Structure 1
Amino acid sequence: MTDINIRPAKKDDMAAVFNLIKDLADFEKMSDQVCINAEVLIKDGFENNSPLFTCYVAEINNTIIGYAVYYIRYCTWVGKSVFLQDLYVDLNYRKQSAGKKLFFRIAKDAHEIGGQLDFHVLSWNPAMEFYKRVGAEDLTNNEQWHLLRLDQLALTKLFE
């Protein structure tokens, strides 16, 4: 088995991360919803006095094979917490613990920040079993929370 290195992403990694973002969107059958590019990732994550996200990459032999993106949010019940936006590993590198290593890297940051670690998972995603094994609670089932969204079109319609 090849060694997998987990490290903070750099500006130069964003083209590879963006390609993986497109792969994730394809995997989730939502490729038409990707509206950014690598330049936006660079601006939002590295050229801002307050970066909008933190990114880790998984690499094998200096090739980026996965990534995880999170951001700090505020919960009025627990204070600062972490929202894991994306965690994805290239299909060719699955079952080698890269996803698990990325997840535990984010979980460690969340633990140090305090509060909680929140994330969403599609109901059909096989990773759901892993998340349950590590103690994640399905809030849709247990607390009846539902994730809702107003996309850009819906927001525009609100103000027409």
Structure 2
Amino acid sequence: MNVTIRKAIESDSDGIWKLMKELAIFEKYIDTFAITPEIVIESGFKKNPPDFYCLVAENNQKIAGILVYYYLPFTAQNKPAIFIKELYVDTNYRGHKIGEKLMLALKEEAVINNCGQIKWTVSPWNEGGIRFYNKLGAKENNDWLNYEWNLHD
């Protein structure tokens, strides 16, 4: 399988949105999923700076995987960090190391931008994701608890 990893462009928006929606189904938040292809275009490609960046895995002109991320401007180490918001590979393309290729491409992006860390969260029930991240050499951080403050509940 010939897969190319590259930075997303505006014409990828529909494919990105479709995988975002599949991820929302997989992670069980589809009932609150409010993203549209138009929001992807506006927030990721029309705004300057964009609200998010995205790497895509492409196979035969089809988006096979996405890695959506944004920058945290500075940290205690006085270096920016990258936060991964979404990593998803289409079920038809799994088993071809696409997730690993996306993560390695993001690592290169982090080095180019002098980032000190790449951070993300994973659901505790997502055993496949946890195994994948452990295999990459990522370490679980139990030093902090995640909190969220939902403003529209």
TM-score, normalization by structure 2: 0.91
Q: Is contact 2:100–2:136 with CA below 8 Å preserved after alignment?
A: no
CA offset digits 1:12-65 (Å, max 9, x no partner): 111111111010011112111211211111111111121121111111111111
CA offset digits 1:82-117 (Å, max 9, x no partner): 001111001111001111111111111122222110
Q: In structure 2, what is the equivalent of residue 157 of structure 1? A: none
Give, in whole Å, the separation in 2 of the partners of 1:134 and 1:53.
23
CA offset digits 1:66-86 (Å, max 9, x no partner): 111110013431231100111
Bigger CA radius of gyration: 1
Give, in whole Å, the separation in 1 of the partners of 2:6 and 2:75.
31
Query: C-alpha displacement at 1:139, in angstroms?
Result: 1.2
Give, in whole Å, the separation in 1 of the partners of 2:103 and 2:70.
14
- Percent identical: 35
In structure 2, runs of 5+ residues without a counterpart are none
Of stretches 22-31 and 125-134 in structure 1, the one that deviates more from structure 2 is 125-134
Write out the 4+ residue segments of structure 1 that deviate beyond 6 Å after TM superposition: none
Cα RMSD of the aligned pairs, angstroms, is: 1.3
Q: In structure 1, what is the equivalent of residue 116 of structure 2? A: 115
Q: Is contact 2:71–2:83 with CA below 8 Å preserved after alignment?
A: yes
Give, in whole Å, the separation in 2 of the partners of 1:124 and 1:87.
16
Give, in whole Å, the separation in 1 of the partners of 2:123 and 2:32.
15
When the two structures are aligned, how many residues end up with a matched partner? 150
One-letter code aligned to 2:122: V
Find out whether 1:87 has 2:87 as its counterpart.
Answer: yes
Q: Aligned with 1:57: secondary structure?
A: strand
